[in-house]
Each structure stands twice: as structure tokens, then as C-alpha cells.
Amino acid sequence: MTHHTTQSPQFFLTAPSPCPYIEGQFERKVFTHLVGDKAPEMNDLLTQGGFRRSQNIAYRPACESCRACVSVRILAGEFQATKNMRRVIQRNSDLIGAMHDAEPSTEQYSLFRRYLDARHRKGGMSDMTVLDYAMMVEDTHVDTKIIEYRKRGPDSFITGRGQGELIAVALSDKMADGLSMVYSYFNPDFEDRSLGTFMILDHIARARAAGLPHVYLGYWVNGSRKMSYKVRFMPQEHLGPRGWERFPPQT
């Protein structure tokens, strides 16, 4: 059994592999393990330094000839929803997001599979089994939560509980300075609800209510249509050679 010290984490470098975002490019990642009592503190520091978490691994791009991946975080306290975003909030006003400890369920996995089969059939996660999904949710040494979005029930004004089928799910880390959205998915039959946008807006509202300044969205890749949605949530900060800088820059 391999022992990982929490005092001085070891970092490793992956071999080059084809980039999923930019054709003709190859990606490499530097990564370390997030384990032990210091994992939450380490996750905070690494996320602030541009890392992302996947299970008990923290990683960031270390590509030799490309710097297209940029870490993005929304300034929750200053965020102003656009007219279209306000319509998304109104369109989903019948939904309630209930936050739980990170525990998987068969209902979640069923929705997860529907989402992958409809939106990412050829992606790297397309062959994930129910056990793989359980590991994605449970294998964490940090403060990870799962938010289940369901339709509002008749008792909602008393208990705040949603009823009916599961429509969307977000797996997120609670950190000292914000919420980090690890992964989210939704029922592809409700595409007209813009549920991906709604879940980000909900995280901004949750961060603001908790007095947390940031919502971390992971990497934005300039020129990638898959990632273009991330720069619609303004204002935000991008991590560059000089640290976190406001985007767009203030004049």
C-alpha cells in the first residue's frame, strides 16, 4: 500500500495525450493526491493556484507548447445577471436545490447515464459504470457536497423540499473562499430550461448568501465552443502569470 504524506505532497507529470479541446495539440497534467487531515487546506491552496479536483487527485495542465487553459472564478459579490440569465432563473423557479453530503444513488446514476449518452457519448467518461460514478462522488477527502434539483412540492413553503423526478445534479466543493463546481449534469429532455446556466447561477447565489467571494468554474479554453459559456458570468477573474486578474480588465 502506497503511503502519501500530507506534509509534503509529491507531484507527478502525465505522459502527453491528444488534447480534447484543441485539435492537433497534446496535453500533459501535473497532479498530486489529496489525502489525510490536511486535504481540505491543500485543496483550497491548489484550487487558488489553478488546480482542479477529480476524486482524490488535484491536477492542472502542464502542456509543453500551449497555454490555452485558463482558470476562471466568478466574483460572486459583484455578479449581475443579464436579462437572459434572469429569464433562466424565472424559467426554473419551480425547482429546489437540496444540498446533501456527497453520497451517490441509483437515481443519480440513471440521470448521469442519460446525460452522457445524449451529450458526451464519445467523451472520456462515456463508459463509466455505477461503481465509477460512486467513486467520483465518494472518493473525496475535502468538504464535498451534492446538490439535487427537483421540482417544487406542495409542502415547499414549510420544508423547502422538492418532489418528483431528479432533474439536475451538481457535485461541488466547499472551500474557505468559495464554491468549486466539480461536475454537473442534467436531464437532456429539459434542454430548453438551460439547466447548466441555472446551476451556475444557483451556486453564485449560494456563495453570496454564505459570504463567499468566489465560484470556481475550472478551465476556460479560448477558441473552444465547449468552454465559451464560462466567460458569460461577469465579472470574473482569470489566473495568469501575474496571479488572478480581473476579466474583463477595468478601464
Of 64-78, 161-175, 191-205, 228-242, the poorest mean pLDDT is in 161-175
Task: Give percent of the chain above pLDDT 70.
Answer: 90
Res 62: pLDDT: 95
Per the confidence metrics, is the pTM higher than 0.85?
A: yes
* Segment 89-100 mean pLDDT: 95
Q: Which residues are within 8 A (CB) of 108 and not within 5 positions of it... i.e. 6 or more apart?
A: 133, 137, 146, 148, 166, 169
d(CA 196, CA 169): 10
Kindly tell me if the per-residue pLDDT of 130 is higher than 50.
yes
| Residue range 52-84, pLDDT digits in tens | 999 999 999 999 889 999 999 999 999 999 999
d(CA 42, CA 146): 21
pLDDT band at 218 (very low <50, low <70, confident <90, very high): very high
Q: Which residues are within 8 A (CB) of 219 and not within 5 positions of it... i.e. 6 or more apart?
A: 52, 61, 69, 70, 71, 72, 227
Domain ranges of the chain: 1-68+84-196
Q: Which residues are within 8 A (CB) of 130 and not within 5 positions of it... i.e. 6 or more apart?
A: 106, 109
d(CA 179, CA 74): 10
d(CA 151, CA 163): 6
